[in-house]
Amino acid sequence: MAIREQKLIGTAGELFTAFELTMIGVQCDLIKQDGTDVVAVKGKNVHLAQRIEVKTSTYVDDKKCYSFSTSKGGQKRPYTKQDCDIIALVALPERKIKFISVGSHKGMTKKVHVNTFRNDDNLIKKSWDDALEKSLTESKMVLEEWCNNKQ
């Protein structure tokens, strides 16, 4: 796949993520910063910014899985809380997103079966709520560790 085509697919995934978050009542903005594509700044009861890295896939492998690269940098390493808070896995042909907290996935790739996207009409909202809850817990742990190290 040509680099230009990859960029267009990535941009489509980012725009789609911002659109879907807006549709479920999350105020967000597209940004271009290393490791962050979208920042969700305000939700129902949450007013803590969440940095979202969007990963978009259009290809299904022989096992009927979408494969997402969840690594960063030239020397490839998994994303950490220092990079982003939530990873959005966008299956563009399905027009669906599965959100995961960065702390719940340690690998450099993530495979998701097509049925995960096809069989859950409420996947976007449910996975957002779950990823947000986990991300806030992870943020609290990082902050507590930081405070303990400062003493």
| Residue 43, pLDDT score | 63
What's the CA angle centered on 111, arms 115 and 106, to 5 degrees?
A: 135
| Range from 9-13, 18-22, 72-76, 82-86 carrying the lowest mean pLDDT | 72-76
Inter-residue contact 114 to 60 (CB < 8 Å): yes
Given pLDDT bands bounded at 50, 70 and 90, which one contains residue 35?
A: low
| Residue 46, pLDDT score | 62
Q: Given a cut of 90, is residue 36 above it in pLDDT?
A: no
| Residue 60, pLDDT score | 95
Inter-residue contact 128 to 26 (CB < 8 Å): yes
Mean pLDDT of 114-129: 95
Q: In the beta sheet, which residues pair with residue 42?
A: 27
Inter-residue contact 45 to 53 (CB < 8 Å): no
DSSP 62: T
> What's the mean pLDDT when you consider all of the chain?
90
- CATH entry, 3-150, from 1.10.150.670, 3.30.70.260, 3.40.1350.10, 3.30.930.10: 3.40.1350.10
Domain residues of the chain, as ranges?
Answer: 3-150
